[in-house]
Amino acid sequence: MQEITIAIDGYSSTGKSTIAKQLAKALGYIYVDTGAMYRAVTLFAMRNNFIGPKVENDEDLVQSLAKVQLEFVYNDELGYAEMHLNGKNVEKEIRTLEVSKYVSKVAAIEAVRQKLVAMQQTIGKGAGIVMDGRDIGTVVFPKAELKIFMTASPEARATRRYKELLEKGEKVTYKEVLKNVQDRDYIDSHREFSPLMKAEDAIEFDNSDMGLKEQFERIYGYALRVIEKPKKN
Ligand code: DC
């Protein structure tokens, strides 16, 4: 059976990573969470005071990018890879609302995107990959055999995200989470370099009123259809 590249793009908190992880597991593919890479660079920027409530120093961040070492380290117990920044596991730190507040700004910087896109193309060059993000089907792998573009209403996404953050013990309000979802939608879709948009040949997938099982079954079905299709010579 041929191995393919699967690009899953879409708005924040549409559950892309949950589906992408399940899909990779079912197909025996590698899963790459590109959002984790932008989040890790953001954490680096926050720790070095390049970005924060009162600062935004893109130039110094760009000058220091060579010092940012990112690595996905597979966790056998969890069954997926975790993000390491300069040798340390930062999975927990990169998922906080604090990092979410700044990540879209960092992801809008051209030099940051160039560095991360190049890494993503290297990781995914062998196919047999499920990669989720915002520009995978448009910029990173424009020739991906299967492209999914996930959407859901901002309210449905904020409700899911709010529950997740509460479960992790973060003290947040629903209003704050909804605002973050809306702000990130705006910045991600209006930035100059590779803005979030649906690739022409992507399947639009609205999961506002869909449970996880149904989402997985449908997307797995799309994947099998492509994988089992005889290759044209
Ligand atoms: O998928 P996520 O919410 O963890 O992504 C965090 C941010 O990173 C998101 O607001 C936009 C940015 N991002 C991006 O610009 N391009 C990607 N391929 C992945 C994420």
Query: In CATH, what number is assigned to the domain containing residue 219?
Result: 3.40.50.300
Q: In terms of Cα–Cα distance, which of 110, 104, 100 is closest to 192? A: 110
Residue 42 placed within a domain: yes
Residue 46 placed within a domain: yes
Residue 84 placed within a domain: yes
Q: Share the mean pLDDT of the chain.
A: 94
Q: What is the pLDDT of residue 130?
A: 97
Q: Which of 41, 83, 103, 185 to mutate to test the pocket of ligand 1 (most atoms within 8 A of CB)?
A: 103
Nearest CA to ligand 1 atom 10: 104
Distances (CA, A) of 135 to 11, 71, 87, 224: 11, 20, 27, 23
Instruction: Please say if the pLDDT value at position 182 is more than 70.
Output: yes
Least confidently predicted of 73-82, 130-139, 173-182: 73-82
Instruction: Please say if the pLDDT value at position 90 is more than 90.
Output: yes
CA of 66 to the centre of ligand 1 (A): 20
Separation CA 42–CA 59 (nearest Å): 14
Instruction: Please say if the pLDDT value at position 172 is more than 90.
Output: yes
Q: What is the pLDDT of residue 176?
A: 96
184 lines ligand 1 (CB under 6 A): yes
Separation CA 126–CA 16 (nearest Å): 22
Q: Which domain holds residue 140?
A: 5-227
Q: What is the pLDDT of residue 233?
A: 59
Separation CA 212–CA 63 (nearest Å): 42
Residue 232 placed within a domain: no
Residue 233 placed within a domain: no
Residue 80 placed within a domain: yes
At 148, the pLDDT band (50, 70, 90 cuts) reads: very high
Nearest CA to ligand 1 atom 11: 104
Instruction: Please say if the pLDDT value at position 65 is more than 80.
Output: yes
At 55, the pLDDT band (50, 70, 90 cuts) reads: confident
Whether the predicted model's global pTM rises above the 0.85 cut: yes
Q: Looking at residues 193-218, what average pLDDT do you find?
A: 94
91 lines ligand 1 (CB under 6 A): no
Q: What is the pLDDT of residue 169?
A: 92
Q: Which atom of ligand 1 is nearest to the CA of 107?
A: 15
pLDDT above 70 as % of the chain: 99
Cβ count near 1 (within 10 Å): 7
Instruction: Please say if the pLDDT value at position 178 is more than 80.
Output: yes
Q: Looking at residues 139-164, what average pLDDT do you find?
A: 95
Instruction: Please say if the pLDDT value at position 124 is more than 80.
Output: yes
Q: What is the pLDDT of residue 229?
A: 84
Tally of domains in the chain: 1
Residue 198 placed within a domain: yes
Instruction: Please say if the pLDDT value at position 86 is more than 90.
Output: yes
| Torsion on CA atoms 197, 72, 80, 78, rounded to nearest 10 | -130
Instruction: Please say if the pLDDT value at position 230 is more than 80.
Output: no
Q: What is the pLDDT of residue 232?
A: 64
